Amino acid sequence: MKIILEAPFMVEAIRTLTNLYRLGWDERNGGNLSYLLYDEDIKDYLDTDKVIRTIPMSFDASEIVGKVFLVTGTGKYFKNVQYDPERNLGIVRIAEDGKTCELLWGYSDGGKFTSELPAHLMSHMVRLKADPEHRVVMHTHPTNTIAMSLIHPASEREFTRSLWKMQTESIVVFPEGVAVLPWMVCGTNEIGEHTAKKLENTRLCVWTTHGIYGTGKDLDEAFGLIETVEKAAELYMLTRGAERVNEIKDDELRDLAAVFGLNYRTDYLD
């Protein structure tokens, strides 16, 4: 077997998690990541017949039995991942009963997956139906996105419009808009169910006063979506209370959509 820490998926995941901490989006043990892995990703690096231990879940994931995920650990700090990946990350497989995870690698200190794994798995199931190439669920706490959620109406239409109008890239990067979830207790199946419902029609869901869920075909897409929302939210916060004399107009957003061939939320424009 090759060294698993040199596997491309592992190298990129560690880089991404380290960068999320560097950006200040994942303080302390905030944030979590799950990454769907295929046989070709792990076959040279991991003996999938060797189960280290089993970990029960408070959720029935029978729909995705046998699927394997790289998942951040509960209570772990993103800043420590680069120094001790095997302690802070784990690779788990959904067992035949759908309610148990088989640990194939990681959580070397006896730990377990993030408490939000059920929310992640619900989101994976929904996004795989919308996009068979989907692989990543990323939850993080971008500063300006949270700040914007504190002062902006929670209307998904209005929240999306505000982000689209801040910069040219917004409608191009997330033409389907962003979902907005009112405050809920985190780490519960309930918030996972509501988030998954929101993600049926978008790749992004803002958790009011908490953070954001971003999804994608790979780590770059999920990170890039969140990064673009955060830049737009920063511009919104920097210019709030000022007269935005050059804010992008609805007709200009339509022009952008036409040039880029975007399948956007037409009902979000006046």
CATH assignment of the domain containing 246? 3.40.225.10
Q: What is the pLDDT of residue 1?
A: 86
Residue with tokens 């077997």: 1
Whether 268 and 220 map to the same domain: the answer is yes
Whether 110 and 156 map to the same domain: the answer is no
Whether 74 and 106 map to the same domain: the answer is yes
Whether 135 and 68 map to the same domain: the answer is no
Q: What is the pLDDT of residue 167?
A: 97
- Given a cut of 50, the residues of the chain with pLDDT beneath it are none
Cα–Cα distance for residue pair 201/197, rounded to 1 Å = 8
Whether 176 and 63 map to the same domain: the answer is no
Q: What is the pLDDT of residue 84?
A: 97
Whether 101 and 147 map to the same domain: the answer is no
Q: What is the pLDDT of residue 117?
A: 94
Please tell me the total count of domains within the chain. 2
Q: Which domain holds residue 169?
A: 116-270
> Of 62, 95, 114, at which residue does a domain stop?
114
Q: What is the pLDDT of residue 109?
A: 96
> Of 114, 137, 161, at which residue does a domain stop?
114
Whether 26 and 121 map to the same domain: the answer is no
Whether 222 and 102 map to the same domain: the answer is no
CA angle 31–35–40, rounded 5-degree value: 160
Cα–Cα distance for residue pair 104/52, rounded to 1 Å = 6
Tokens read off for 176: 């389907």
Whether 4 and 98 map to the same domain: the answer is yes
Q: Give catalytic status of residue 116 as yes or no.
A: yes
Amino acid present at 232: A
Query: Comparing C-alpha atoms, which of 173, 269, 187, 158 is closest to residue 227?
Result: 173
Among 102, 116, 156, 230, the active-site one is: 116
b vs e for 250-266, b when ≥16 Cβ sit within 10 Å of the residue's Cβ? eeebeebbeeeebebbe
> Of 114, 139, 160, at which residue does a domain stop?
114
Q: What is the pLDDT of residue 187?
A: 83
Whether 37 and 129 map to the same domain: the answer is no
Q: What is the pLDDT of residue 204?
A: 98
Whether 196 and 125 map to the same domain: the answer is yes
Whether 132 and 107 map to the same domain: the answer is no
The pTM of the whole model exceeds 0.85: yes
Cα–Cα distance for residue pair 70/228, rounded to 1 Å = 24
Q: What is the pLDDT of residue 122?
A: 96
